[in-house]
Structures are given as structure tokens and as C-alpha cells.
């Protein structure tokens, strides 16, 4: 099947100008012919009106008509876009353009302009939400630190109370430190300012190391592990991928019941390495499964549980930056299963 050769957009605009110039020439010739006939008639009737007056009159009429045509078909759409750009430059991202006229190029320009303003409006909303969420997440541990510090002052010489309040303060400072580190890392990953150094390493050993890093948490909840992993060598950024596994395993530990079990699988397939982390937690409703990968989203709207809603957003960004994909399947009351697919070199 032969492919049709696409016509460049510039050819359409060039054709419009050629047609307009041709029309101007035809009008000019027509008016000249009419002027010649009129002058000949006036000469035969001996009507004494200076020739220059008629020439000026027809020139004004012709120039005015052509100006209206040019303004309507060419200048007005460009002027409207210029004014709309001024509004965008002033911070108004709600402006939209329609009715571009007959020119196809202007229709394309208007469509691109509307796409740009919609993207800018979405970015502004995202930035506003980000600032609001960051402020909320910072406020919670800071208020806790302040409150427990005041209680320590009132604790007197009671070592047990002082130790309890000190532990609470330490927990809040760790949460604050984790929040700052996640924000900085997410910013570096989003802006791609972090060099993505790749080298081969044992992925199954990295997952075992991630389990050991969280040993205190799963030991306290008496959680058992069901691990089945192939020996896998992966070429990627080892430090970034460790953030992914620690986050997924930490979430599984947090939501798995006391005395529960977490299943970890790693299997090498022909085109990818598939890793799954499954828990027996409360599960995630269908309408929330896509939102859990958004920044600062927490299923617990009160933000009382541990975490700051950045872990899964960061994990997805890292996995996608490595050319992979992360997904979740879950049902309320039946636990959750997170799947990571990484491309094989």
C-alpha cells in the first residue's frame, strides 16, 4: 500500500496568500478598466470633474475594501492570539481561543494555544496542591514536637515520662526527616538532575537486603515471609531501586495484620523481570487504586497513619524512569498485590 505524501502546512498558507494577491490584481485591473470607461464617458459628456478626484476616490474605496478583507481573514485572528497571550503572561490560564477563521494554520495554532493553557492551568493547580500538602505534612510533626517538648518541661523529675516524651519527639523528627528526604529525592527524579548511573547487580539479593532493613517492623508484628525468587541480575541504579523495594515492603508490613504473612515473588521472564509483593491487609477500593500513586495521597484522609503519601509516587516515578511499570490489584478485605515489571537488557 503506497503512502500518501503529506502536504506541509506552510503550503496551505502560501496558497492563501497567492489567491489573495491574485484577487487584488484582478480587483485592481477591474477598477482600472471601470475608471477608464468612466473617464471616457465623462469626456464624451463634457462633465468637468478633475481626473485626480476620481482616482483618489476609487483608491480610497479600493484600499478600504482590501483593508477590511485583510483584517478579517489575516490580521484579526493574529490580534486575538496576541491579546490572549498577554492575558496568559499576566497569569490568566483560563483563556481559550475559538473561531480562528478560514486559515487552517490558525486553527492549528489556536488548538495548540488551548492545549498549552490547559497544561499551564493543570500545573498551577498541581503546584498549589503540592504546597498545601507539604504545609500540612510539615505542620503535623512540628506540632507534635512542640507539644511533647512542653510536656517534658512539665514532667518534672519523672524519668519515665521524660523518656516517653523524648521517644515521641524522636519519632516526629524521623517522620519530618523522611518527608524532607522524599521531597528532595522526588524533585531530583522529576527534574532528572540525579545522574542515572547503571550497573549490573543481583536484584534478588537487593530484595533480601530490603527485608533485613525492615526487620524491626515486621518482627514487632510477628509477620511471616513467603519468599520465592529466581536468581536475577539487573542493570540499573541500585540506590534508587532500593527505595522502591523498601517502600513496597514497608507498606505491606504496615497494612498486614499482626501475625500475618507477606508473599514476595521474583520471576525472570523472556522480556521482563516481574516482582510481586502481596499482603493480607484491608485492601484498596477500586476507585482509589489509581489515586494511590499520586503525591501525598493517603487512603486515610485524616493522615493519622504513618507515612506522607510520597512513597508510591516516588516508586512509580523511579520505575518508569528505568523503563518499567508498577501496578496494583486489590479487593477490600482480601489484601493487595503490587507488581513491578522491569525490562531485561
3-state secondary structure at position 323: coil
Q: How far apart are CA 343 and CA 274, in angstroms?
A: 9
Name the nearest CA neighbour of 13 among 68, 65, 77: 77
- The pLDDT value recorded for residue 62 is 63
**Residues in Cβ contact with 160 at an 8 Å cutoff, skipping those fewer than 6 apart:** none
pLDDT of residue 113: 84
What pLDDT score was predicted for residue 94? 82
Contacts of 289 (CB under 8 A, 6+ apart): 328, 330
d(CA 284, CA 299): 8
Tell me, what's the pLDDT at 3? 39
Could you give the angle at which helices 159-191 and 104-154 cross, rounded to 10 degrees?
Answer: 170
**Lookup: cell for 199:** 550497573
Q: Report residues of the chain scoring pLDDT below 50.
A: 1-10, 300-305
**β-bridge pairing 261-268 and 233-236:** unpaired
Helix (H, G, I), strand (E, B) or coil at 238: helix
Cα angle, residue 131 at apex, residues 129 and 136 outer, rounded to 5°: 95
CA dihedral 99, 102, 107, 113 (to 10 degrees): -60
pTM of this structure = 0.54
Residue 330: CB atoms within 10 Å: 21
| pLDDT value at residue 40 | 64
Please tell me the predicted confidence (pLDDT) of residue 7: 42
For β-strands 224-229 and 261-268, DSSP reports them as: parallel
Q: What is the pLDDT of residue 125?
A: 62
Amino acid at each position: 500500500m503506497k503512502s500518501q505524501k503529506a502536504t506541509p502546512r506552510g503550503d496551505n498558507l502560501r496558497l492563501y496568500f497567492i489567491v489573495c494577491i491574485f484577487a487584488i490584481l484582478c480587483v485592481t485591473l477591474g477598477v482600472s478598466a471601470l475608471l477608464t470607461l468612466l473617464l471616457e464617458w465623462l469626456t464624451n459628456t463634457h462633465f468637468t470633474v478633475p481626473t485626480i478626484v476620481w482616482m483618489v476616490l476609487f483608491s480610497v474605496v479600493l484600499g478600504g475594501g482590501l483593508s477590511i478583507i485583510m483584517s478579517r481573514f489575516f490580521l484579526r485572528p493574529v490580534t486575538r492570539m496576541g491579546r490572549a497571550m498577554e492575558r496568559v503572561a499576566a497569569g490568566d490560564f483560563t483563556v481559550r481561543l475559538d473561531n480562528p477563521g478560514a486559515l487552517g494554520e490558525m486553527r492549528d495554532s489556536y488548538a495548540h494555544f488551548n492545549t498549552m493553557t490547559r497544561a499551564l492551568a493543570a500545573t498551577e493547580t498541581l503546584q498549589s496542591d503540592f504546597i498545601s500538602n507539604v504545609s500540612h505534612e510539615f505542620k503535623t510533626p512540628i506540632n507534635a514536637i512542640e507539644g511533647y517538648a512542653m510536656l517534658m518541661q512539665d514532667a518534672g523529675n519523672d524519668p519515665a515520662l521524660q523518656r516517653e516524651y523524648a521517644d515521641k519527639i524522636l519519632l516526629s523528627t524521623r517522620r519530618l526527616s523522611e518527608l524532607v528526604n522524599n521531597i528532595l529525592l522526588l524533585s531530583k527524579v522529576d527534574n532528572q538532575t540525579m545522574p542515572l548511573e547503571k550497573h549490573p547487580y543481583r536484584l534478588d539479593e537487593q530484595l533480601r537486603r530490603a527485608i533485613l532493613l525492615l526487620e524491626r517492623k515486621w518482627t514487632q508484628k510477628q509477620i511471616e515471609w513467603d519468599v520465592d525468587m529466581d536468581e536475577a541480575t539487573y542493570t540499573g541504579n541500585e540506590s534508587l531501586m532500593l527505595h522502591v523495594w523498601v517502600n513496597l515492603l514497608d507498606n505491606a508490613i504496615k497494612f498486614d495484620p499482626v501475625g500475618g504473612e507477606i508473599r514476595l515473588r521474583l520471576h525472570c521472564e523472556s522480556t521482563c523481570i516481574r516482582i510481586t509483593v502481596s499482603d493480607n491487609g484491608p485492601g484498596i477500593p477500586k476507585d482509589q487504586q489509581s489515586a494511590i500513586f499520586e503525591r501525598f495521597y493517603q487512603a486515610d484522609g485524616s493522615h493519622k497513619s504513618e507515612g506522607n503519601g510520597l512513597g508510591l509516587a516516588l516508586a512509580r516515578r523511579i520505575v518508569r524512569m528505568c523503563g518499567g511499570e508498577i501496578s496494583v490489584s486489590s479487593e477490600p478485605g482480601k489484601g493487595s498485590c503490587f507488581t513491578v515489571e522491569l525490562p531485561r537488557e
